[in-house]
């Protein structure tokens, strides 16, 4: 039973990866018409373990299907965290890095600061990773500097290894 549960959850995670990678919306106005739901139903036609797992939900004491929007969001968050941690490990392995930061208002007119990190990989090839987008509370020089330092601290990136900066895509 535990093995089939694990296999079913792995398939659901693969569905999340696929929809995310292809930039396909997960949900529709009606849950049963959403892409995630439809993809899982399609796969269950060809995978007896998934089909059995979905059909047996009422026979289980815990009635969990991981098909809810909350479960989908949790899968997305876990995958995003994993991707970010891989990127951060690559950045931390480099002796130096630089940042590029730019702010722009979102649809609610809140200024959002995006931060990208550039670094050299093991082959000394330049790499660039998106690491943060957060609301910029204080738009002064000190406010932006403190915001960036907070982000670097949260991401456990040593500011002493920061060798260059650019803002609004202009070198500083």
pLDDT of residue 125: 94
Lowest mean pLDDT among 25-34, 36-45, 68-77, 107-116: 25-34
pLDDT at 77 (0 to 100): 94
Q: What is the pLDDT of residues 82-110, one digit of tens each?
A: 999 999 999 999 999 999 999 887 788 88
| pLDDT value, residue 106 | 76
Tell me how far apart the alpha carbons of residues 9 and 168 are, in angstroms, rounded to a whole number.
Answer: 42
Supply the pTM of this predicted model.
0.74
Distance separating alpha carbons of residues 68 and 102, to the nearest angstrom: 35
Sign of the alpha-carbon torsion through 162, 163, 169, 171: positive
């Amino acid at each position: 039973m535990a093995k089939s549960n694990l296999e079913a959850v792995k398939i659901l995670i693969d569905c999340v990866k696929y929809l995310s990678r292809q930039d396909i919306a997960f949900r529709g106005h009606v849950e049963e018409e959403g892409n995630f739901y439809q993809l899982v139903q399609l796969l269950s036609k060809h995978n007896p373990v998934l089909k059995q797992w979905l059909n047996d939900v009422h026979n289980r004491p815990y009635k969990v299907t991981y098909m809810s929007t909350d479960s989908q969001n949790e899968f997305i968050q876990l995958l995003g965290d994993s991707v970010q941690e891989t990127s951060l490990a690559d950045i931390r392995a480099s002796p130096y890095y630089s940042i590029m930061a730019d702010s722009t208002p979102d649809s609610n007119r809140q200024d959002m600061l995006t931060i990208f990190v550039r670094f050299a990989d093991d082959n000394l090839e330049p790499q660039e990773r998106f690491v943060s987008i957060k609301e910029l509370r204080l738009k002064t020089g000190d406010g932006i500097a403190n915001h960036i330092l907070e982000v670097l601290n949260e991401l456990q990136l040593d500011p002493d290894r920061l060798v260059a900066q650019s803002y609004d895509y202009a070198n500083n």
